[in-house]
Amino acid sequence: MAHRLVDKLSGFDSPQQRQQSQKMVIFGTIFLLTTLLILYSSNSGNESYNPRNGYRYTVHTTNLKAWANQDGYVAVYGNKTMNLHCKQCALVTSSSHILGSNVGDDIDQAECVIRMNDAPTTGFEKDVGNRSTIRVVAHSSVYRIIRRPSEFLNKTPDPVLIFWGPPTKISKDAKGTLFRLIQKVSMAFTNLSTFIIAPKKMRQFDDLFHKETGRDREKSRSWLSTGWFTMVIAIEMCDSIHVYGMVPPYYCSRRPQPKRIPYHYYEPRGPDECTTYIQNERGRRGNHHRFITEKQVFARWAKHYNITFSNPKW
């Protein structure tokens, strides 16, 4: 085929035409090579885009139980070490799917109850329970936690707070306002155990995301969500996890569209959940979370570890 094309191009033409044809062939070759190069480089994260199934990638599943290491968490005050182990955990998400569920008592029966950021229990006990053993908090939520000590700092006997954030903002060495604030709080509420995810471990969280999704967190201009940190920490410390209020990965692309519900159960006037997920997933600039991509990974982890999802069940 290619031979015939070259024959045709060079066969009966005048020298001028032949020169032009050769130019075209050269241009064509350069174009083809460039295209291949672009395709190749966009492929370098072991991912390729398929319009039907979205991103497909070679998965490198990490054994999160072996991945866990205690020195990944730095105690803010005192000489506490993070050596929590729970047989059975309830991971309560902040989604409004939990409203009206009446599962508060079930949640409280779990050995450890894990919550995120400033999700309150007061006023929502019937649906979310009233115990909080572990709370995973984003650097951006620190102020909201500290503003309400009676809700977040001394409500339950011995709560554990784990803070995550960019090491430049939150680590001990950064000596920034955020670290000093967390330190002050840890000294004032001695029953509290506060930890900050160590810089080294923060990088491991990024690497984990890259390995599991084929996408580089920084290059794809996104942030890991508190949900990502919380799920990994839960897998590290819990033999079994019951997740309350998390939708499956493709929930928001269902037709007909799911009904609109607030993103957070405690912010009834807040943004719609699916709108938030989809906008974040598509966002190409700025501080986006890949909520849907993360859930695809969670769905895979659920096959390796003892994780069940309810409200909705999947």
CB of 275 to ligand NAG, least distance (A): 31
Q: Half-sphere exposure (CA, 13 Å, Cβ side) for 272?
A: 9
Three-class secondary structure of residue 114 per DSSP:
strand
Neighbours of 173 (CB within 10 A): 10
CA 125 vs. chain centroid, Å, equals: 26
User: Which residues in the 22-61 window bind ligand NAG by CB under 6 A?
Assistant: 44-46, 58
Q: Which of 120, 129, 245, 249 binds ligand NAG (CB under 6 A)?
A: 129
The count of residues interacting with ligand NAG (CB under 6 A) is 19
- Hey, what are 63's tokens? 């054994």
* Nearest distance, CB of residue 117 and ligand NAG, angstroms: 21
Q: Does residue 88 touch ligand NAG according to CB under 6 A?
A: yes
Only one of the segments 62-70, 123-131, 166-174, 193-201 lies at the binding site for ligand NAG (rule: CB under 6 A); that segment is 123-131
Residue for token digits 């991971």?
A: 91
Q: Could you say which residues in the range 145-174 bind ligand NAG, by CB under 6 A?
A: 154, 157-158
- Segment contacting ligand NAG (CB under 6 A): 100-108, 133-141, 243-251, 292-300? 100-108
Closest of 277, 286, 295, 285 to residue 213, by C-alpha: 295
Cβ density class 102-115: b for 16+ within 10 Å, e for less: ebbeebbebebbbb
Backbone angles phi, psi at 18, to 5 degrees: -65, -40
Q: How far is the CB of 130 from ligand NAG (least distance, A)?
A: 4
Determine, following the binding rule CB under 6 A, whether residue 306 of this chain makes contact with ligand NAG: yes
The residues that touch ligand NAG, with contacts defined as CB under 6 A, are 44-46, 58, 79, 88, 104-105, 108, 125-126, 129-130, 154, 157-158, 191, 240, 306
